[in-house]
A and B are shown apart, each in its own frame.
Chain A
Amino acid sequence: MILLVDMDAFFASVEQAHHPHLRGRPVIVCGDPSRRGVVTAASYEARPFGVRAGMPLGEARRLCPKAEYVEGNPEKYVALSVKLLDLYLRYSPDVEPFSVDEAFVGLQRGTTMEHAVEIAREIQSAIEATFSLGASIGVGPNKLIAKMASGVKKPRGLTALDEESFRGVFWPEEVQSLWGVGPRLATRMRSLGIQTVGDLAHAPVHALKGAFGIIGPQLIEAAWGRDDTPLTPCHRPPDPKSMGHEVTLSEDSEDVAFLEGTLLRLSDQVTRRLRTEGYAGRVVAVKLRNRYFVTVIRQRALSSHTQEARRVFEVARELWRANWSGGPLRLIGVTVSDLEAAPDAGQIELFEGNRRDDRLNRALDRVRDKLGDSSIVPAGSLAHRRELGHVPFGVRPNPFSKNRSSGA
């Protein structure tokens, strides 16, 4: 079963939720209300006056003079859209955003229509309770039916259709009401005598193929409520392509020992992140920027993937030595790319004979997980941090702490 969650008058509803004095009143979301523009969104209270998205503001003011005009805030709506997707993920890992205010939620194979309706009701209640917003949900055996069902009753509607009931509801409707049929396609269909969704369902396949090519037979299938389009969950963060750390030095420096210590600490930080997030990388890059903002990036591939600071540092140091002209540096960075998932570092390092290093890294990680990233640092980077009198990485030490003498 698939759900399609469609937020009701999303932009306007968000403004009404955030500004309670607007609730129950006609609200029109637009650009700058003091300038010419168009309606971006209208609340349900404004729609009976004939106000629609895309309408010029002047016309909207004539139709609905008592409306409250609110300048839209796209970042706010997108941020809320992401929070809604997180809410859907509580019910299923298969969430596919369709637009800023719509998303498909795929339920487990074998879920009955009754259970899907229960879940849809829970989602509606959760949206109301968490965000003070309304949503209409369509329930169906495929994306097409779920999408079209969501528009049957609004606002705060919940419509569940199987293929048979889909046909009962939509076959009498104009052919343009079928998802995927726009005005121009509908005009061409009407010229062929196809007025309704039911007409399309019974149109000869060869005629549709001749008129519309490969999509002809697909449209007929859709008119029967059949759709095998897969749900593509994409509300997941993409796998990272690289991980890196860089630091702009508090003072430009050409101190070899200091720069080497900084590279060591950066390598340590990058590999800790790799281990924490379960990746290993094979290409090490170093970034050097001088006081004139001239930036050099050089990289080299290792023979195998690694999560080890020592291996990354050795390559980073070679690259730095080979490409640094000796002048003061302003910024230095280390990046590891060509990542692959590596949940068990032991597997990676086993054949490199570095089991001891692996155990050491994991022990260090456990200490840092408990006491913070700056609780243990490579010795080569420690002296320079003290000289600078600040902490370029990790938490700033509390000068009033009783443990000050323990240093890093």
Chain B
Amino acid sequence: MFESLNDPVDVLSAFVEGRIEPIRFRWQGRIVRVTRVTGRWTRREGQSRLQYFALEDSSQGTYELFYDPRGPRWVLSRAWVAGSGG
């Protein structure tokens, strides 16, 4: 089951060929290592453009994070963790 969240997270990311590539992030006390970015999209909020990422980790968990340049900050908006049911 997906969990809808709004959790600020610490993210380590790289900038590659003009794109942000999240590498890993800390959530609920554990480090989540990103194995693949499976989707990208943006959303406008006022004059800011939030950058969203769908991510997969090594244990088949998937997440949706967004980067808000106004903070700047990273926020975990949705998570599905293997074995969490659903």
Docked Cα-Cα span, A20 to B42, in Å, equals: 20
> Is B2 part of the contact surface with A, judged by Cβ < 8 Å?
yes
Cβ-Cβ contact count across A and B, 8 Å cutoff? 42
> Is A79 part of the contact surface with B, judged by Cβ < 8 Å?
yes
- Among B10-18, B21-29, B54-62, B67-75, the stretch that binds chain A is B54-62
Docked Cα-Cα span, A79 to B1, in Å, equals: 24
Docked Cα-Cα span, A18 to B36, in Å, equals: 10
The answer to whether A21 touches B60, judged by C-beta atoms less than 8 angstroms apart, is yes
Query: Known: A71-B2, A71-B4, A76-B52. Is A18-B39 also a contact (CB below 8 A)?
Result: yes
Docked Cα-Cα span, A80 to B41, in Å, equals: 7
Residues of A within 8 A of B60 (CB): 20-21
> Is A241 part of the contact surface with B, judged by Cβ < 8 Å?
no
Residues of B within 8 A of A18 (CB): 38-39, 54, 62, 64
Task: Report the minimal beta-carbon distance from B64 to chain A, rounded to whole angstroms.
Answer: 7
**Chain A 82-93 interface mask (CB, 8 Å, partner B; 1/0):** 010000000000
Tell which of A33, A76, A83, A132 has the most Cβ of chain B within 10 Å: A76
Cβ-closest chain B residue relative to A67: B86
Task: Report the minimal beta-carbon distance from A154 to chain B, rounded to whole angstroms.
Answer: 23
Docked Cα-Cα span, A75 to B52, in Å, equals: 11
**Chain B 20-49 interface mask (CB, 8 Å, partner A; 1/0):** 000000000000000000110111000000
A-B complex: 10 closest residue pairs judged by Cβ atoms: A18-B54, A79-B41, A18-B39, A19-B62, A75-B43, A18-B38, A76-B41, A21-B60, A79-B42, A20-B56
Enumerate 6 A-B pairs (CB-CB under 8 Å) in ascending A order. Answer: A18-B64, A19-B62, A33-B1, A68-B86, A80-B39, A132-B38
